[in-house]
Structure 1
Amino acid sequence: MPGATAATHKTVVLYPSLGMGHLNPVVELAKVFLRRGVAAVIIAVVEVDSSDTTTTDRLAAANPGITFRRLLLLPDAAAVPPRGLLQDDGRRHSHPIMRTIDVLRAANPVLRDLLCELVIDMFCTDALDVAAELGVPAYFFFTSALGDLAVMLHLPCVFPDARSSFKDMPYTALRFPGVPPIRGMDMATTMQDRESDIARACLHQCARMPEARGFLVNTFDWLEALRSGSCMPAGRPTPPVYCIGPLIVPGNPGGHNERHVCLTWLDAQPNRSVVFLSFGSMGVLICWPL
């Protein structure tokens, strides 16, 4: 793992995107760095609303070995709307993720003051500019499936050549190195309309991700496509991929350590008969007709 050898005196700064779904995995990653001998780990938390610090305070109290640094961003200074404003209301953002991207971009000036070695969230691509300016190495922490990373790295090679949006070719099999074919309808909803603001923003993020020194992925297996670098355009190598998972929050949400009843049920099921779906904080399940 980069920057995590025994008895190292380096400080690692972890920079999550907004929301608990990004902050919680970063806390688990911080614990891994500390167990591997990193002297200090700082989690830089962007906060637009200074009155809501409950989550950060709770995590800081439960993890005294981790330093939490708040990057307070006033809504007026950031030129961003208050939390909860949806992008489809016509006032500012066309999609909720667009607000997140704007907030994180506006946080760059406050981020410059505390960087030593930077590990950033997949939505924080604009922080690469800060890392480059200060000459510090930046790594992406990728908590989604490794196949998703393979698709994202290859999207800039495919999307400009697409003659129509994915929404217009729902049954067309799209081919990405290292993963099975994916139908257009099964691509992320944010990428369905190639002319939308969110699709353009996501494609910009995908194109910038290879600028990082490497990827820390919350998994224990990795794809031959990433190993060989075939996800990237010819002549451009894929940054190193470090599989550091699985990182999970120990115990039950209620704080008890007993084994959850769902695991007993899971143990009783036939091998390879259960599909686990993790929607994140904004995901929805859509069932398409076969």
Structure 2
Amino acid sequence: MEATQEKQPPHNIALLPPPGFIGHFIPFIELAKKLVYRHSCTATLIIIPDDGSPMNPQKAAFLRGLPPTIKTILLPPVSTDDLAENINVEMLVPIRVIRSLPALRETLTFLRDDSSCSQASALVLDLFAPHAIDVAKEFNIPAYIFYVVAANELSFCIDLPKYDELCTSEYNDMPEPIKLPGSLVLNPNDIPDAIKERNSDLHKLGLDLCRRILFADGIMVNSFLELESEAFKDLETRLHDIPPVYAVGPLIRTGAETESDRGSECLNWLNEQPPNSVLFVSFGSGGTLSIEQFHQLALGLEMSEQRFLWVVRRPQENAAGAYLNINNDKGSGSFDEFLPHGFLERTKGRGLVVPSWAPQIQVLRHASTGGFVTHCGWNSILESVVFGVPLIAWPLCFEHKMNAVFLTDGLKAALRVKENEETGIVYRDHIAMIVKGLIQGEEGKQLRIVMSHFQNAASNVLSQNGSSTKALAQVVKKWISGN
């Protein structure tokens, strides 16, 4: 009798998203789904708590409903009581990763030794977690960075140590302007805030992260070739100095979004509006504005006389700090106290204001949505591209200003708000003008044509024979074969 060959268990891919940033967490969920549904792997999401609590409620919501082939392991919280209360979020996140490395090591040991689990065939890390590369090497498994933001930023990150050597004082005083691929020039104000203060602890940490990324076995980027052709060409010329780079995006949210009552309110209201007539205003999972800017935006929307759907969050002076307090609006009722007197009455029927959250995917794909005011987070940009929605770029912090340069000067897919040079405020007259131009003007029509082109390209790259589909398959093949 011929012996039956024992069936091999599916390959298990361990994924390590960062603590904090929901915008980084979502692409990791979507990558796990791709690995399970399209490549017959299993996936283990290793979750580092955001603070002392067991699980961020917003992250828990994204984990609900995942298939059993995607498992979740929650690492124990680490203490950050010794750190300054106002520590920069971009320092806090990698510090939490570093302090969680012993627990990560224990988790990979458990996956290796427990008979009920499959040993990890690869470890996929966030760009804020390259310190975990050394742990992966201890277990002789490949470590891949999942770069969940733009390929343009990856090029900038790779070049940052070089810029640091050229710069003798501050980046404002560099002899040559900093450029992104495609000859896009970065204004000094467009450089991420985290690295502007040279010789600061934050700057040194940023340099360290950029250098450590290059020790990965590969880098997957949540973008696609047609969207960032110049950036990927630039990265391809560096292959003798950097790990192989794979364009595997756009990986955006899939499946139904939860908070049904507010979601129904938004969608029912949109159903009553004409096609391409509504401006969607939302600043991401944690983005918010100062009180003065909040008022100017409200008055600008009113002056524009255009329809709008505005996701409102409590005003806060520190835009970056708001990203670690994204639940501070939960359960809050009316936002009347933060809005100009009479604003809701004067814009009733033409505008809808919702607190904290809206079903962004459903809003962007809706036929009534004609534009999107965005903070230029990469997830929001990709979602706009997938649904062909033209943009008003209103960058807040982190790499958002670099993304705004790429959107406006590179893709020609967005209008950018202009801040007053003295106050840093975008005033109501300018807001009204740019909103009207996007929804009713000739510039808005041109942006829709551009976004329609990239929408078609995004659909093609994710098809069965598309470039992003093939790139991810190539990576998985390497993991499975052990090469």
- From 252, 261, 278, the equivalent of 1:248 is 252
Shift of 1:266: 4.7
Matched, 1:183 2:194: no
Cα distance in 2 for residues equivalent to 1:84 and 1:249: 34
- What is the Cα-based RMSD across aligned positions, in Å? 3.5
Task: Name 1:274's counterpart in structure 2.
Answer: 391
Cα distance in 1 for residues equivalent to 2:94 and 2:237: 25
Shift of 1:229: 4.4
Task: Name 2:473's counterpart in structure 1.
Answer: none
Cα distance in 1 for residues equivalent to 2:371 and 2:96: 46
Task: Name 1:90's counterpart in structure 2.
Answer: none
Q: Aligned pair in 2 of structure 1 residues 263, 140: CA closer, same or farther (>3 Å)?
A: same
Task: Name 1:64's counterpart in structure 2.
Answer: 67
Q: Aligned pair in 2 of structure 1 residues 286, 41: CA closer, same or farther (>3 Å)?
A: farther
Amino acid at match of 1:101: P
Task: Name 1:125's counterpart in structure 2.
Answer: 130
Give the conservation status (yes or no) of the 8 Å contact 1:220–1:243: yes
Shift of 1:260: 2.5
Q: Aligned pair in 2 of structure 1 residues 127, 288: CA closer, same or farther (>3 Å)?
A: farther
Q: Deviations 1:183-231 (Å, cap 9, x if unpaired)?
A: 2221101111111111110111111111111111111224455446477
Task: Name 1:25's counterpart in structure 2.
Answer: 27
**1:3-82 pair list within 5 angstroms:** 9-19=10-20, 20-47=22-49, 48-52=51-55, 54-65=57-68, 66-75=70-79, 80-81=80-81
Task: Name 1:152's counterpart in structure 2.
Answer: 157
Amino acid at match of 2:37: R
Cα distance in 1 for residues equivalent to 2:75 and 2:34: 23
Shift of 1:265: 4.4
Matched, 1:287 2:419: yes
Cα distance in 1 for residues equivalent to 2:215 and 2:399: 27
Q: Aligned pair in 2 of structure 1 residues 68, 179: CA closer, same or farther (>3 Å)?
A: farther
Amino acid at match of 1:32: K
Shift of 1:237: 2.8
- TM-score under structure 1 length normalisation: 0.78
Cα distance in 1 for residues equivalent to 2:257 and 2:398: 18
Return the index of the structure with the highest Cα Rg: 2
- From 97, 103, 111, the equivalent of 1:110 is 103
Shift of 1:9: 2.2
Shift of 1:97: 1.9
Shift of 1:168: 4.3
Task: Name 2:167's counterpart in structure 1.
Answer: 162
Give the conservation status (yes or no) of the 8 Å contact 2:371–2:390: no
Gaps of 5+ in 1: 1-6, 88-94
- From 240, 243, 260, the equivalent of 2:363 is 260
Shift of 1:137: 0.4
Instruction: Kindly tell me the number of residue pairs found equivalent between the two proteins.
Output: 269
Cα distance in 2 for residues equivalent to 1:84 and 1:196: 15
Q: Aligned pair in 2 of structure 1 residues 249, 277: CA closer, same or farther (>3 Å)?
A: farther
Amino acid at match of 1:122: L
Tell me the SS of whatever aligns to 2:39.
coil
Cα distance in 2 for residues equivalent to 1:102 and 1:204: 12
Shift of 1:254: 3.7
Give the conservation status (yes or no) of the 8 Å contact 2:235–2:245: no
- Provide the identity percentage: 24
Tell me the SS of whatever aligns to 1:211.
coil
Task: Name 1:142's counterpart in structure 2.
Answer: 147
Q: Aligned pair in 2 of structure 1 residues 201, 113: CA closer, same or farther (>3 Å)?
A: same
Gaps of 5+ in 2: 1-7, 109-119, 268-361, 373-387, 402-416, 422-483
